[in-house]
Amino acid sequence: MDDQPASSIENSGASADVHLVLHVNGGDREIECDQRTTLLDALRDHLDLTGSKKGCDRGQCGACTVLVDDRRVLSCLTFAVAAQGQQITTIEGISEMGSGTALQEAFVNHDGFQCGYCTPGQICSAVGMLDEVKRGWPSAATADIDEPVDVVLSDTEIRERLSGNICRCGAYVNILAAVRSVAADTGQDMA
C-alpha cells in the first residue's frame, strides 16, 4: 500500500532478509532482519529495547506485552513485519501514555513486584486494559453486556482482564491494589 513504509526482501538461499521501518515510542527505527523475526526479538535484539521480556516465547505468560496502536498485543506472537505502519509502544515509552506513569508509580507504591521480570508486561497490559474499560469493552467477568456496556471495575474484573499476565513471584495481590488505585484515581466506577 502507498502509505506503508517501504520494505524489501532479498532471497539468499534458505533465509530472506527484510528491511523494516518500525514506529517505536514516537520515532521511526530501521532494522534489517530475517523476515520471520518476531516483534519481541526485533525490539530486544535489534533495537536494544530490552524492557519487554521473553518469558515463554509462545503466548502463555504476557511478559512480552506491548501496545500496538494503543491495543495490547503479545509481541512474541507478532511478526515484526506485520507491525510496520503501526504505533508501537513499549515499557520504555509508556510514560507518554495517559495512565502509564501513574501505573509505574502505583506499582512501586503498592509493592506490585518482587523480581520484576513480569512487571513491564503487567504495566503495558494494565494501560491497555484501563483503556478497554473506558471504551466499554466487556470481559468474561462482566455481568451486564447490554450496549452500551458500563463497566464497574470489581476485583474480579481486574483479575480477569489481567489474567493473561503471569507473575511467577505471585505478586498478584499488590498488582491488583496498584491497578485498582490508578483506576479509582481516574474516576472509574469501582465495586
| Helix, strand or coil, per DSSP, at residue 39 | helix
Nearest to 90 by CA among 53, 132, 60, 116: 53
Cell numbers that stand for 68 in this block: 500496538
91 part of the interface to ligand FES, by CB under 6 A: no
79 part of the interface to ligand FES, by CB under 6 A: no
Binding mask 9-48 for ligand FES (x = CB under 6 A): ----------------------------------------
155 part of the interface to ligand FES, by CB under 6 A: no
Binding part of the chain for ligand FES, among 7-15, 23-31, 99-107, 111-119 by CB under 6 A, reads 111-119
Among 55, 85, 98, 138, the residue binding ligand FES under the rule CB under 6 A is 55
Cell numbers that stand for 173 in this block: 495481590
62 part of the interface to ligand FES, by CB under 6 A: yes
Please report, as a single letter, which amino acid is at residue 67: L
171 part of the interface to ligand FES, by CB under 6 A: yes
Nearest to 31 by CA among 72, 100, 81, 75: 81
103 part of the interface to ligand FES, by CB under 6 A: no
Directed axis angle between helix 172-185 and helix 119-134, to 10°?
A: 40
d(CA 140, CA 72): 17
117 part of the interface to ligand FES, by CB under 6 A: yes
Among 26, 32, 36, 116, the residue binding ligand FES under the rule CB under 6 A is 116
On the 0-12 / 13-18 / 19+ scale of CB atoms within 10 A, 160 is: middle
179 part of the interface to ligand FES, by CB under 6 A: no
168 part of the interface to ligand FES, by CB under 6 A: yes
d(CA 23, CA 5): 10
Binding site residues, ligand FES, CB under 6 A: 54-57, 59-64, 74, 76, 113-119, 167-169, 171
